[in-house]
Chain A
Amino acid sequence: MRQFLTYLVLISVVLTLGGCNFGPVKSDAEAEEEMADGRDAEVSQEDEDQRFSGDLGGGARMEELNDPDSPLSTRVIYFDFDSSRITDEQREVIDAHADFLSRNPDVEVVLEGHTDERGTREYNLALGERRAQSVEQLLQVQGVSAEQIEVISFGEERPAAMGHDESAWRLNRRVEILYSGL
């Protein structure tokens, strides 16, 4: 009888759990609900490609940023393997962004550091941060306030190009300068 009861209990457990194994599966939706502070809400949007876009209203500042003849239109800085060194040419681009940000202290940038697929994931996370920080330092030296800059590293997790050779890797070793608050 006892065995039978045990069996019944087990069956009901099976029915209750259905196809769900090993406890409930967690998802970001739940994680977001748990976030009382609501910080970074815009970053958790469904479509990752729209995270920092859509806010660029009209006006002279936007025209200045998007002028194809201006160094400001260059928003990606590329790097050598396992390096965060910035070339003189890239420095001119960063200087232009520094000038723009100094003149517009209400404008903010996210510096997103990335690496290629080679090497270990966690080391690449650190390397992506170091790349973003090397851009950050140049901006700050030129007078951009620390409050205007946020550094985020994605390591090798968000490649810009999907290939597996140098032609893709060189596009993936990068810092993206993403404007917001315009």
Chain B
Amino acid sequence: MIWMRRIGLFTLLWLLISLPARAVLTIEITQGSDEAMPIAVVPFAWGGEGKAPEQLDQIIGADLHRSGFFRPLDKDDLIARPNTASKVNYADWRALNVNYLVVGRILPRDDGSYTVQFQLLDVNRRQQLAGYSLQTDKSGLRRTAHQISDIIYQEITGKRGAFDTFIAYITVIRDQADKPRYQLAIADSDGHNEQVIYKSRQPMLSPSWSPDGKKLVFVSFARGRSEIYIQNILSGETRRLAEFSGLNSSPTWSPDGEYLAMTLSRDGNPEVYVMHIEDRSLQRITRNGAIDTEPAWLPDSKGLVFTSDRGGSPQLYEVALNGDMRPAGRPARLTFRGSYNARASVSPDGKHVAMVHREGSRFRIAVQNRDSGQFRVLTDSRLDESPSFAPNGSMIIYATEDDYRGILSAVSVDGRAQQQLSLQQGDVREPAWSPLRSE
């Protein structure tokens, strides 16, 4: 019941923040997985007149497919279209080698909102694994579908889903005079509902989410050089946080929300600092004549992984921090394979570090186990960069290119499933996956 009420509250918030879809990003699944679990998502029955307001089955099926864990049945192969468990003939579905079945319906309510009911069924055991009734407005239907995907994902894999999340990214579109226009945008995790939150004629980079998902910190050249800004997403309020002489770059929000790690060259060359957001006090973390940059937090906020070329080539180093954000020891080198490992993203459980890894003349996304050192290259394009873990650790979104056009791609951490998100025109880059939504 509390769940229901929360959904209602959500709905209101959601209506406020998600108006007409601009749907600029298109997703293409480029690599599926053979081991994926067969599942059938039956089109949800519509209890009103005319056409159903949204094809929830397609949103859910696409979510599940993207994860790499599931292989949704083609719509043409559905042998029946039951809308509740009581109408399911399990033997039929079993004959199709389907392990799981999702059925549901959308019912119109008097106030114009909808009730969405769905059931997740285990075909072999002939039993219901989950059943929910969710209330939403029309604009919240896509989100409801993502929430259903999260429930299904968690019931079957035992891990939290991350479909009901956002991605932030930078787009670059050239105007008629061939001048670049930069935009900081956010979209649902499936690329729908793009919302531009900052426009500039100057470059922007490095968006990073606050752990409550309500703010973004990023680098803007709006005043001619790199400076760090924080923007409250709901209010649009922006403030400049770092405008020291030299570089102000690579801001990343600490998981506890209190601090920003960043790169400043105010003391002569790029060093990693930690800034307390409230009073803007600075703690210098690195002291080295080399380039130290691209800090990424460990999940407990008690350490950073960063890029340094102190050993002669860019490699990742890890430094522990004590309670007052002073370094608790010397940085230890993490990566030893190849001549270029940079721009770390640490998995939410702290077990893996994703990075940009140079192989010959190519830059790929690789992932290394922090304890065992086990190392795996996940991608195979020419210029992959900016890896960012999904908040449940299942996927890594990164920037790559297709025919020299900047696109986003996501790969499952085991490398099995891959998908691409591209703009209709221009480049998209610098993705950052949002935290899980806490409401």
Binding site for B on A (CB under 8 A): 3-4, 6-7, 10, 13-14, 17, 19-28, 30-32, 34-35, 39-40, 43-44, 46-48, 51, 82, 117-123, 125-127, 129-130, 133, 151-154, 157-158, 164
Residue of A with least CB distance to B344: A120
A-B contact list, 18 entries, CB within 8 Å? A10-B15, A19-B20, A21-B195, A22-B17, A22-B195, A24-B235, A31-B238, A40-B224, A117-B383, A118-B361, A122-B307, A125-B205, A126-B249, A130-B270, A152-B225, A153-B247, A157-B205, A157-B221
User: B120 at the A/B interface (Cβ < 8 Å)?
Assistant: no
Known: A129-B265, A151-B246. 8 other contacts (CB 8 A): A17-B16, A21-B19, A26-B199, A123-B291, A123-B343, A125-B249, A126-B293, A153-B226
Which interface residue of B193, B226, B313 has the most chain A CB atoms within 10 A?
A: B226
Chain A residues whose C-beta falls within 8 Å of the C-beta of B249 in the assembled complex: 122, 125-126
Contact, CB under 8 Å: A123 / B246: no
Contact of A120 among B196, B221, B294 (CB under 8 A): B294
**Contact mask B216-250 → A, CB, 8 Å, 1/0?**
00001111111001011111111000000011011
Task: Convert B299-338 into 0s and 1s, putting 1 for each residue whose CB lies closer than 8 angstroms to a CB of A.
Answer: 0000000010100011000000000000000000000000
Q: Known contacts A26-B236, A123-B293; is A40 also within 8 Å of B223 by CB?
A: yes
Number of B interface residues at 8 Å Cβ cutoff, please give it.
69
Residues of A within 8 A of B137 (CB): 10
* Smallest CB gap from B178: residue in A: A162
Instruction: Return chain B residues, CB-CB under 8 Å to A25.
Output: 196-199, 236
B255 smallest CB distance to A (angstroms): 20
Provide the residues of chain B in CB contact with A10, threshold 8 Å.
Answer: 12, 15, 137
**How far, in angstroms, from A127 to B199 measured CA to CA in the complex?**
26
B340 sits at the interface (CB 8 A): yes
| B231, A26: Cβ atoms closer than 8 Å | yes
- Shortest CB-to-CB span from A147 to chain B, Å, is 12
Render B274-312 as a binary contact track against A, CB cut-off 8 A, 1 for contact. 000000000000000001011000000000000101000
Bound complex: CA A151 to CA B201 (Å): 21
Residues of B within 8 A of A26 (CB): 197-199, 231, 236, 238
**Complex Cα–Cα for A52 and B110 (A):** 63
Task: Output the nearest chain A residue to B362 by Cβ-Cβ distance.
Answer: A118
Is the Cβ of A43 less than 8 Å from the Cβ of B224?
yes
- Measured between beta carbons, the chain A residues less than 8 angstroms from B150 are none
Interface contact A22-B206, CB-CB below 8 Å: no
Closest approach, in angstroms, between the C-beta of A92 and any C-beta of chain B? Answer: 26
Is B354 on the interface with A (CB-CB < 8 A)?
no
- Whether the pair B291, A48 counts as a contact (CB closer than 8 A) is no
Q: B158 within 8 Å of A by Cβ? A: no
Q: Does B340 lie within 8 Å of A164, measured CB to CB?
A: no
Find the B residue at minimum CB distance from A128: B247
Q: Does B164 count as interface, using CB distance less than 8 angstroms?
A: no
CB–CB B203/A23 < 8 A: no
Q: Roughly how many angstroms separate A118 CA and B197 CA in the complex, as a whole number?
A: 28
Please, which residue of chain A has its CB at the minimum distance from the CB of B361? Answer: A118
**Cα of A130 to Cα of B179 in the assembled complex, Å:** 27
